[in-house]
Structure formats: C-alpha cells, structure tokens
Amino acid sequence: MVNEITKSCSFCGNNVTAEDAFCNNCGASLTEEVEITAEMPVVVEQPTSAVYP
C-alpha cells in the first residue's frame, strides 16, 4: 500500500503523510503546534564601585 502525501512539514516543507507523527526529514513533531519565538537574552550587570586613583 502506498501512503498518499497529504501535507507538508511546517518547519522544513518536506512532504509527509497523515499517519506520520514526525517529519522524516527534520524530525519535527507533526502532531502538535509549536510556537517558536526568538528572544534576546537578558543580561543583568551588577553595579561596580568606582575606583579612583
């Protein structure tokens, strides 16, 4: 039996079947929606005492 291609991976665009739980190209989960956000890391600098000569 040949599986028909019914959708594409939202991460890499690879063709996948409805039965696939993971993309066979990139390994992304096909069963749940994942929101990807890119956040800049927060860097907190500790105040330092001024040193005068």
Residue 46 lies in a domain: no
Residue 25 lies in a domain: yes
pTM: 0.49
Task: Give the span between the Cα atoms of 41 and 12, in whole angstroms.
Answer: 26
Residue 27 lies in a domain: yes
Residue 47 lies in a domain: no
- Supply the pLDDT for residue 14: 93
Task: Give the span between the Cα atoms of 37 and 4, in whole angstroms.
Answer: 32
Task: Give the span between the Cα atoms of 8 and 28, in whole angstroms.
Answer: 11
For residue 15, the cross-strand partners are 8
pLDDT digits (tens, 9 = 90+) for 10-38: 889 999 998 899 999 999 998 876 555 56
Q: How many domains does the chain have?
A: 1
Which pair of structure tokens corresponds to residue 26? 């990139």
Rounded to a whole number, what is the distance in angstroms from the first to the last CA of the chain?
83
Better-predicted residue by pLDDT, 2 or 19: 19
How many other CB atoms are there within 10 angstroms of residue 23's CB atom?
19
